[in-house]
Amino acid sequence: MTILRHLAFVLPLITGLPLLAQPAASAAKPVQSEEKSSYVLGPDDQLKIWALGMEEITDKPVKIDPGGNIDVAGVGQLHAGGLTVEQFKALLVERLSKQIIHPQVSIEIVDFGSQPVSVMGAVNHPGVHQLGGRKTLAEVLSQAEGLRPDAGPIVTISREIRYGPIPLPSSKPDSTGRFSVAEVNVKELMAGSKPAENILVSPHDVITVPTAEVVYVIGEVKKPGEVQLKDRGSISVLQALSSAEGFGQTPAPQDSKIVRIVPGTQERTDIPVDLRKVMAGKAEDVALRPNDILVVPPSGPKKVAARIAEAAIQTTTGVIIWRRP
């Protein structure tokens, strides 16, 4: 009975040992994020490689060459391009198995270089950025330190067709058939109102954020210059006048006009606007189009001098544009 009692006490402890050892083993196993484990290696990526029992392999970073190959000391040249880190690790273990028993290998990406994406236009840090794994459109714009205040309402994405078409309803091939091009509304992207448009960016994508369209207000206003339309397709003359902080000291609002380029030409046309009637609600508050110029002329003696100056300048430049300081 004593022996049986002793066994009854000891056996649960023995059978429980693997269960107690399991957490320690799993804790010792290196954890790799989904982003890095799914990262596809390519030229200019740099790796640190460790292999237990292989003194030839040091922790000095090794770069993948333009052909996708990498030289591993004591092993030789291996093709890493197009493989994930786990796939390349399995290949290296297979090669090392011919030299050592049960090779233990660790691989770390120390510098991403094979997934460039170009971010251009109205962002705070334009240029070539590395994806470094899976990145969404919003994350890439964040890598470029966000949008400038003069950013327009649309982001354009251009992708090499070899990476597949851009998964957006607006996607279409360009005239050469080599690229897929799509547009995303900035306001909806940042608001998260259409999460499906926050797509994953592919290597070599070109992301362009154009500056906002503008109209110009010049003449007898307090703050002449350009008015950004931003997410608006147009702006009314009164809204433009308000952005220019109203009339100056000697305006002739009844003689105001809109200078507009005729579509498809370099010619321009003048559209008379009586701002007195517009402000009184007796005339239409005309919508200005991108690049329109609202001109508020001066009154009295200044008016004659202004017209002479305008004619002289138009002879050489074609149009007067005064920008805000």
Residue 122: give its domain's CATH number. 3.10.560.10
CATH of residue 87: 3.30.1950.10
The mean-pLDDT minimum among 220-234, 247-261, 306-320 falls in 306-320
Asked if residue 14 belongs to a domain, the reply is: no
| Average confidence (pLDDT) over 105-110 | 90
pLDDT at 197 over 60: yes
Domain hosting 105: range is 34-111
Q: Are residues 87 and 175 in the same domain?
A: no
* Biggest distance spanned by C-alpha atoms of the chain: 125
Q: What pLDDT score does 40 carry?
A: 85
pLDDT 10s digits, 38-58: 688 989 899 999 888 788 888
Q: Which tokens sit at 95?
A: 């090669």
Q: Are residues 79 and 61 in the same domain?
A: yes
Q: What are phi and psi of 46, to 5 degrees?
A: -115, 135
Query: Taking a C-beta distance cutoff of 8 angstroms, is the pair 173, 179 a contact?
Result: yes
Q: Are residues 134 and 195 in the same domain?
A: yes
Q: What's the predicted TM-score (pTM) here?
A: 0.65
Is the model more confident about 130 or about 307? 130
pLDDT at 68 over 80: yes
Asked if residue 322 belongs to a domain, the reply is: no
pLDDT tier, 306 (very low <50, low <70, confident <90, very high otherwise): low
Q: What pLDDT score does 233 carry?
A: 72
Domain end position, chosen among 209, 243, 274: 209
Q: Are residues 102 and 123 in the same domain?
A: no
Q: Are residues 47 and 77 in the same domain?
A: yes
Is the model more confident about 144 or about 230? 144
Asked if residue 10 belongs to a domain, the reply is: no
Q: What pLDDT score does 312 carry?
A: 42
Asked if residue 245 belongs to a domain, the reply is: yes
Is the model more confident about 35 or about 323? 35
Q: Are residues 103 and 184 in the same domain?
A: no
Query: Taking a C-beta distance cutoff of 8 angstroms, is the pair 65, 43 a contact?
Result: yes
pLDDT at 303 over 70: no
The mean-pLDDT minimum among 6-15, 61-70, 71-80 falls in 6-15
Q: Are residues 223 and 310 in the same domain?
A: yes
Q: Are residues 230 and 284 in the same domain?
A: yes
Q: Are residues 229 and 250 in the same domain?
A: yes
Contacts of 79 by beta carbon, 8 Å cutoff, 6+ apart: 68, 69, 70
The number of distinct structural domains making up the chain is 3
pLDDT tier, 199 (very low <50, low <70, confident <90, very high otherwise): very high
